Structure 1
């Protein structure tokens, strides 16, 4: 049953509206109110890629949001689920999520939940999968791990490499995200690891939040992931950098911590429908997502 388009919150009526009908500045103010680092430009990027809704009070103030990003006919990620701090326990977020789930009926879903939101998502039957480690900080080059040998050739990615990037991302993520990859390519610097002319790993880096974010990063092992992330770390010495990963141990995680990117926070990847394991391809040395595009986009 579709949820009501209005809700009484704190003795005042709240209504739902299309997120694209709200001025960018008001959405940006909402994310600032909960301490999220998104710039207006980051909001503009997700608005171009996805759909969503907002909760508005009686005088049109934005008090909550939820977005979703579809890939093909059967899959979507959910993100930008925000409510004003004073409203986080009164049902507004659940009301917004019920609207989103109605729009996404029949799809397999994935999201990354903050600690505060996990109870909500569990109540909606989302299942926990993996911890995401938000690694960030000001890059400091120590030399450790920056000059190790590479099995292959690491070179800047060019437009002609986009089809291989899309295919590699699909193999690691489990779903083809061609439109997202194309948009990321437009605003990112990328490095690819090639062996005999074949793309073995890649990493993109773009402006985001307080500085830049590396992601996605796709590779079959730590060594390959390190090979394509190192150039981005070297290019941002003394600058703020972020990378969201499911890896907290191993050589890849060590490179991040030694480069000034310790774990700042964690979120939990959760799914509704197919589980993460259902998306893993069979075969030796499968490609793995070492770095997320973002917590919103997966």
Structure 2
């Protein structure tokens, strides 16, 4: 997909939409701090490295951001849609979204909507498909999760890469090869194994105030719990965040591990529904932006 032109559009009210560059990230980080989002500058750098974004400027000041991540030829995710509080009510978020969606025409587009953004996304044709529960806090020791015979947890092997990509594609309905390859190199990974073949996995990395667990992919909830519990037990007393599918039924269990609910965005899709494999499931997101 070609990149955005440097200047996409200038409106009558002086709002200019431009392609986001690495030079814009310190200001974008400051904007996320202003609206109390936890992202570090390093988190912004990570997110832009896989996608392309837009910034909205008013008199040279960045007052809005949005990033999209095309996955393959038919799917994409959208996130980091932020408008400065002093500029809200001027349809800046709508203009940023229309700029992204014009680039993503013909794709199924997934996003996770805050309560404030839901109305905008509904007007743009997004339909709610589920809920996410954000859990975070200082982790406490997780009890042992008994796996069914034949399953075990093991470290990542150098031969696991293609299998993990295939599991992620099946569970998410999107071919996120570049993301999974990057996380294999930069995050920590534990694998749910049967007879030498990965059946699921969970990744943990630095994010925001501490560490984030995700994506977590497994054939069932018990496998997902075992994967999450492994990382929680590596982080006892530390700040941990995990964003789970509400339909997984893990909210009470996560709260027992010190990870209290801190929000609940809606999963929304514009376009055809994502085609996910019924035999493997995404239990925890890589992030709300990436899905």
Alignment TM-score, normalising by the size of structure 1:
0.91
Where in structure 2 are the equivalents of 1:84-99 lying within 5 Å?
84-99=84-99
1:191-234 CA distances to partner (integer Å, 9 max, x unpaired)?
11111112112100000000010000001111111111111000
Matched, 1:280 2:241: no
Distance (Å, rounded) in 1 between the aligned partners of 2:145 and 2:24: 48
Structure 1: gaps of 5 or more residues: none
Partner of 2:117: helix, strand, or coil? helix
The within-5 A match list for 1:188-207 is 188-207=187-206
SS in 1 for 2:119: helix
RMSD: 1.6
Q: State the shift of 1:16 in Å.
A: 1.1
Deviations 1:127-172 (A, max 9, x none): 111111001111122x5xx223223120111332111111111111
| Contact residue 133 and residue 248 of structure 1 kept, 8 A | no
1:68 CA drift (Å):
0.3
Selected match of 1:5 from 2, 5, 9: 9
Residues 78, 110 of structure 1: 8 Å contact kept = yes
Task: Please say if residues 214 and 286 of structure 2, whose CA atoms lie closer than 8 Å, have aligned partners that are also in contact.
Answer: yes
Q: Partner residue of 2:44?
A: 43
Displacement of 1:40 after TM fit? 0.4
The aligned counterpart of 1:135 is 135
1: distance between equivalents of 2:45 and 2:290?
A: 14
**Whole-Å Cα distance in 2 between the matches of residues 21 and 8 of structure 1?**
27
Aligned residue in 2 for 1:160: 159
What's the counterpart of residue 32 of structure 2? 31
Q: CA separation in 2, counterparts of 1:248 and 1:105? A: 30
Aligned to 2:178: 179
Distance 2:32 2:140 in 1: 29
Which residue in the other structure is 2:283 paired with? 290
Q: Which has the higher mean CA deviation after the structures are superposed, 73-82 or 16-25? A: 16-25
Mind listing any 5+ residue stretches in structure 2 that lack a counterpart?
1-7
Give the Å deviation of 1:73.
1.0
Contact persistence 2:56–2:64 (CA under 8 A) = yes
